[in-house]
Amino acid sequence: MENLKRALRRPLQPLVRGLDALGCRPDYLTLAGVLAALLSGIALASGNRTLGVFWLLVSLLCDLLDGDLARRSGSGQSRFGAFLDSTADRISETFFLGGLLIGRYELLSLTWGWILLWVLALSGGYMVSYARARAEGLGLACSVGWGDRASRMLVLILLLIFGYRASGWFLLAMALLAWFTVYQRVSLVWRETRTPPASAAASPGATAGTGEGGEAV
């Protein structure tokens, strides 16, 4: 998926340079992506899949461009920019899947099985992001996993192309990708935290002569 992202970014570089020349800030693109996601959700809720896909692609385009624009400007992505970008991604996913839920309800009946898959797909996306954020809060890199946002959005696009009647199978794929990625990230953190840092490992003689509470005796 990273190779695909790089391939998509190459033809967009003239656009990035143009936005930089106009003085566009990366945060503006991030917020524009959220607005496009909202419009996509409204279109999906009204049953207009074509318009929903269009605004979804616009939102994903903004998400691709904002990081490149930050690097192009020379300042890199600020801490607030990184926070805003991650938060915007979760809001956008909520708009996409929320619109899908309403659209399905308006056009077809909802079943408990479909609702369960929807909940698992939405919550799985949140947990993928949360697992990475908590790991990085512990100082651990944790970007492993098959079900990153780009993969899930690709499945969502396929869902919208094939239509609401086939949506259950694609929600199942999104849920499996997301929750398997959560498992991968939890497993990584578990392995990393079971191995003590080299600086914390003391020789047997270094701990001799200490009593309860670590006080020297």
Q: Are residues 74 and 16 in the same domain?
A: yes
Query: Residue 96: pLDDT band by 50, 70, 90 thresholds?
Result: very high
Whether residue 14 has pLDDT greater than 90: no
Q: Does residue 81 lie in a domain region?
A: yes
Residue 206: predicted pLDDT: 45
Residue 22: predicted pLDDT: 85
Rounded Cα–Cα distance for residues 157 and 163 (Å): 10
The pLDDT tens digits for 141-166 are: 999 999 999 999 999 999 999 988 89
Residue 158: predicted pLDDT: 95
Over residues 20-28, the mean pLDDT reads: 86
Over residues 54-63, the mean pLDDT reads: 95
Given 20, 68, 89, 148, which residue is catalytic?
89
pLDDT: which is higher, 205 or 180:
180
Provide the percentage of residues in the chain whose pLDDT is more than 90: 61
Domain boundary among 95, 129, 153: 95
Q: Does residue 168 lie in a domain region?
A: yes
User: Which alpha helices (H) appear in the chain, and where do they start and end?
Assistant: 2-9, 13-21, 26-45, 49-72, 79-107, 112-137, 149-162, 167-194, 204-207
Whether residue 1 has pLDDT greater than 70: no
Contact 110, 100 (CB under 8 A): no
Q: Look over the chain and give the mean of its residue pLDDT values, rounded to a whole number.
A: 86
Q: Are residues 41 and 88 in the same domain?
A: yes
Domains contained in the chain, number: 2
Query: Residue 113: pLDDT band by 50, 70, 90 thresholds?
Result: very high
Contact 156, 170 (CB under 8 A): yes
Residue 211: predicted pLDDT: 42
Q: Are residues 39 and 66 in the same domain?
A: yes
Q: Does residue 204 lie in a domain region?
A: no
Whether residue 93 has pLDDT greater than 70: yes
Q: Are residues 153 and 87 in the same domain?
A: no
Q: Are residues 24 and 75 in the same domain?
A: yes
Provide the percentage of residues in the chain whose pLDDT is more than 70: 86
Query: Residue 198: pLDDT band by 50, 70, 90 thresholds?
Result: low
Q: Does residue 5 lie in a domain region?
A: no
Q: Are residues 133 and 161 in the same domain?
A: yes
Catalytic annotation present for 68: no
- Find the domain containing 127 and state its range: 108-194
Q: Coil, helix or strand for 197?
A: coil
